[in-house]
Amino acid sequence: MAAEEHAVEGAQEHAPQYATGGEYIQHHLGFLVFGQKEDGHWGFAHSEEEAKDMGFWSLNVDTMGISLVLGLIFLALFKTVSKKATSGVPGGLQNAIEMIVEMVQGNVKNTFHAKNDYIAPLSLTIFCWVFLMNLMDLVPVDVIPLLAQTIAGDSHLYFKAVPSTDVNITAGLALSVFIMIIYYSIKIKGVGGFFAELAFHPFGKWALPLNLVMELPAFLAKPVSLALRLFGNLFAGEVIFLVIALLGWFQLPLHFAWAVFHILVITLQAYLFMMLTIVYLNQAHNDH
């Protein structure tokens, strides 16, 4: 009971508009949703219930907007470095970019055994974009939401700053990779070869129903594993940051310790998403 009261007091001190620590966490996990309301007009949702009523065609403006901004930052950064690149001793930024590019090229060379000039740029884009989205988790949890509330003049505005904690973002990335897997599987093996890989493996054509029962779930699990692995790890990290924030001024040591550890998590998750993409696309190019 005393611990709950301390958490509530910390939440009120840290964000006076929230009555309890639970409300503080719940509000920070909400999205700025734009969609069609019950009266037929389009606009922003002002409550979780209103956001749910908007249905499938609603848009999480905050995570989508930040994702696009981070994508533009990635493109601008790499373009600037490539224009100013020198053959002499590289600067710190050029050296960091070159290390990332060499890391991606090395992994593609060791893992992808077919010939496709799009795989390396795709892998580089995935790693950098996902890393930047994950990196937003290290920004103090109240900074961006409070900035958005101040600009909008609405102290109850929902605004989520970490795109990879939105399952719509991670599922969109995973679905894009899944579409490429199907595309290259059919392109390399043909429709018949693609179907045969699911229907005749591993026990041959005489066990077709059993083969489909075994292979189809594994095939469909690829985008699910890509999306939920990234979302789950980053969402858990965000919740821990929010719980730490309830401690008020006592949060600083714990926040720093968790942020240092979380640097490994956000990098590892970006790397795993990239590597699984390379592995899945390599399987799509293998014609057995």
pTM passes above 0.85:
yes
CB 280 within 8 A of CB 126: no
Q: Where do the structural domains in the chain lie, given as residue ranges?
A: 63-140+163-285
Residue 204 has pLDDT above 90, yes or no: no
Average pLDDT, the chain: 87
pLDDT of the residue at 255: 84
Helices (H) and strands (E) in the chain, counts: 10, 3
Least-confidence region, from 77-86, 169-178, 244-253:
244-253
Q: Is the pLDDT of residue 3 over 60?
A: no
* Active-site hit among 67, 123, 211, 233: 233
Q: pLDDT value at position 68?
A: 96
Termini Cα distance of the chain: 63
Q: Is 233 a catalytic residue?
A: yes
155 is catalytic: no
Going by C-alpha positions, the residue among 125, 166, 136, 110 that lies closest to residue 274 is 125
For residue 67, indicate whether it is catalytic.
Answer: no
Model pLDDT for residues 34-62, shown as the tens digit of each residue: 999 888 889 998 888 888 888 888 999 99
Q: Among the options 168, 176, 229, 282, which is catalytic?
A: 229
Catalytic residue chosen out of the listed positions 116, 168, 225, 282? 225
DSSP state string for 117-173? TTHHHHHHHHHHHHHHHHHGGGS-TTHHHHHHHHHHT-TT------GGGSHHHHHHH
Give the C-alpha separation, 146 to 157, whole Å: 9
Asked if residue 97 lies in contact with residue 124, where contact means CB atoms within 8 angstroms, the answer is no
Cβ burial of 22 (10 Å; 0-12, 13-18, 19+) is middle
Distances (CA, A) of 71 to 119, 127, 129, 178: 18, 11, 6, 20
